[in-house]
Amino acid sequence: MPHSLGWYHTLTPSGFVLHLTATPDHLRATRTLIAKTLSDAGAGEDLVYSAQLVMSELCGNAVRACGDFVPLVAEVGVTLSGCNDDTGRGIRVRLHDPYRRILPVRGGVRLDDAEAESGRGLPLVDLLAPGWRVTGTPVGKQVRCWIPAQ
């Protein structure tokens, strides 16, 4: 997707930084950008899908907290060769939103709870990106995830 109103991405040495307005079209395009970027870097299909799923859950939570059309900053980076100082091989997924008062918390329903109608998103992020954390920033918050390569 070329630069347009509410969509501006910059390639980085290990991935991209994307400024976007949360719309259904932009969120679909974000998944496509993640797939292309990670596939081009040599990530396997499972790792690509995990990164897409984590980013989708984070974006969905941001929209629920902030509302439609919220401005977001998404970052994705890949380290598949060599070694990153403290994380090894895997995918970095970060999402910044402007609403600091509502922070995501671990918990929710069990993934295998057949009665639950919602609430599986953050437990799923826990499964795919153990140790994710939230950092307050001067203009909101950033959720930081690391998806290790298996």
C-alpha dist (Å) from residue 101 to 78, 121, 139: 30, 19, 11
Q: What is the DSSP letter of 102?
A: S
Q: CA-to-CA distance for 86 and 84, rounded, in angstroms? A: 6
Report the C-alpha gap between 143 and 111 in whole angstroms: 21
pLDDT at 82 exceeding the cut of 60? no
Q: Output the pLDDT for position 106.
A: 59
Least confident segment among 24-28, 69-73, 117-121: 117-121
pLDDT at 127: 85
- Side-chain-facing half-sphere of 75: CA atoms under 13 Å: 14
DSSP strand pairing (133-137 vs 90-97): unpaired
What number is the average pLDDT over the span 129-148?
Answer: 92
